[in-house]
Amino acid sequence: MDEVFVGGERLATGQLTRGQLRWNYASLFPGVYVPKSSVATSLRARTAGAWLWSGRDGIVAGRAAAALHGANWVPANAPIELIARRDRSPNGTVVRNERVDPDEVMEVEGLLVTTPARTAADLARHLPRDEAVRHLDALAIATDIRAADALALLERHPRARGIRRAPIALGLYDSGGQSPKETWLRLLYVDAGFPRPTTQIEVTDGFARAILDMGWEDILVGADYDGYQHLTDRKRYVHDIGRNELVARQGWFDLHVVAEHSRAYVVRRTADAFARRGRPWKLRWWS
């Protein structure tokens, strides 16, 4: 990205004077600059800037790597994680001096980036479980990662930080998690002790079709997380009326979850639905 550059290089070639650099550009990372006219710096620009700061030999990892592989839902202000031999981490970066094998690195858009499998392993090692699963869901949608590949890769690094907790997140991700809130809801059910729900379930009468975010097909109980667009988008609202009637006609009891619902309320409603289907479920304690 031409708008992100090493200041010293442009001064050395005469493309800029020190006055021009001072007045027209802002420091993104030590020695790395962007135009002051940039109202907001994108994740992609910050990633390129961190890589330039590393001397062009750092390896982009973690959330920034997932975004470069096409994963959604990585915020623009997420720390840029790098694997590099550096003694310090500038604000906005997390630098780790870790072992990485040659086949765990690839080039993406001119940057050195961890492969999808190594990215998945790092997300699972370094992030809290729920955040890791959320990003793993998004990475799985964008790539063909498999938990087995990430786990096999970790066997090479038996002393790597966080290796013991990595299998937990890798065992929970699901490419059917189509939004962070869907991931949140799925993990809530897992933590409450329900059987792990199937995601993206098709319901059809042979003519029309609907997709449930998740559910339990053996007892015809489904769950959908309804974001604000379901109420604010009139076209979506009208569509949902017909969609919900189709799901009900096919015998499904479909639970709709919104932001205002507490965790305890969601769990209790779902337990009641299980009981109505003749499957009373012993719940773990929830407050």
Q: What is the mean pLDDT of the chain?
A: 93
pLDDT for 127: 98
pLDDT for 231: 65
Would the pLDDT of 264 be above 60?
A: yes
d(C-alpha 164, C-alpha 150), whole Å: 13
Going by the DSSP 8-state scheme, the letter that residue 41 receives in this structure is -
pLDDT for 235: 77
Considering the entire predicted model, what is its pTM?
0.93
Would the pLDDT of 121 be above 70?
A: yes
Q: CB count, 10 Å around CB of 183?
A: 26
pLDDT for 40: 65
| Arithmetic mean of pLDDT, 83-99 | 94
Q: Which residues contact 232 (CB under 8 A, 6 or more apart)?
A: none
Domain parsing of the chain, residue ranges: 1-41, 55-170, 180-276
| Arithmetic mean of pLDDT, 217-236 | 83
Q: How confident is the model at residue 101 (pLDDT cuts 50, 70, 90)?
A: very high
| Arithmetic mean of pLDDT, 90-94 | 95
The more confident residue out of 59 and 36 is 59
Would the pLDDT of 227 be above 70?
A: yes
E strand or H helix that includes residue 268:
helix 263-276
pLDDT in tens, 229-240: 666 677 777 878
| Arithmetic mean of pLDDT, 18-31 | 95
Would the pLDDT of 182 be above 70?
A: yes
Rounded to a whole number, what is the distance in angstroms from the first to the last CA of the chain? 49
Q: How confident is the model at residue 249 (pLDDT cuts 50, 70, 90)?
A: very high
Would the pLDDT of 47 be above 60?
A: yes
CA atoms lying within 13 Å on the CB side of residue 98: 29
Structure tokens, 243: 């969609």
d(C-alpha 45, C-alpha 69), whole Å: 15
pLDDT in tens, 185-218: 999 999 999 999 999 999 999 999 999 999 999 9
Structure tokens, 213: 């975010």
Structure tokens, 44: 């992609």
Over pLDDT 70: what percentage of the chain? 95
Show the 3-state SS of 155-221: CCCCCCCCCCCHHHHHCCCCCCCCCHHHHHHHHHHHHHCCCCCEEEEEEECCCCEEEEEEEECCCCE
